[in-house]
Amino acid sequence: MRGSRQERAQRNVIRRLLWRGPALSDEKGVGLVESLLAVAIVGVALVAFLAAMSTGSMAVATADRRVTAENLAWSQMEDTLGQAYAASYSTITEPAGYAIAITVSGVDGRDQNEIQQITVEVDHDGGAVTAEAFKVNR
């Protein structure tokens, strides 16, 4: 025989303590839990990326509308300053979604026939843009 019962029991206890399960190289394929975890991580990353893209797209659209309004205001101002000196001035054709208003006022202590303060306000769905200049009667 290979030893007493007590020795065999001790060897079995030692074997159980040292046993680490099957080696990783013996495993084949990817388990369901690992696959689901990978899909969940990719899904969360994709949602975060799409949310960032949406926010960025809205910010770009808002900035684009504001820049268009500013360019429209200064185009109107250039057109107004190029017109003959008058009490009121015509507006350029505004694109859809924008409204142009021109205000002509005198300068304190000066005759309005000598100098005018011209204010151009362009309203758009995101707010308003104002441009101011002076026009002198020469």
User: Residue 21 — pLDDT band, cuts 50, 70, 90?
Assistant: low
Mean pLDDT along residues 11-32 = 73
Q: Which amino acid is at 26?
A: D
Helices and strands (DSSP H and E) totals, the chain: 2, 3
Q: Does the pLDDT of residue 24 top 70, yes or no?
A: no
Looking at residue 28, what is its pLDDT? 72
CA-to-CA separations, 82 to 17, 54, 67, 95, 101, in angstroms, rounded: 96, 42, 23, 21, 17
Name which of 45-59, 60-74, 105-119 the model is least confident about.
105-119
Mean pLDDT along residues 96-103 = 94
Q: Where are the alpha helices (DSSP H) in the chain?
A: 5-18, 32-82
User: Residue 25 — pLDDT band, cuts 50, 70, 90?
Assistant: low
Gyration radius of the chain's alpha carbons = 39
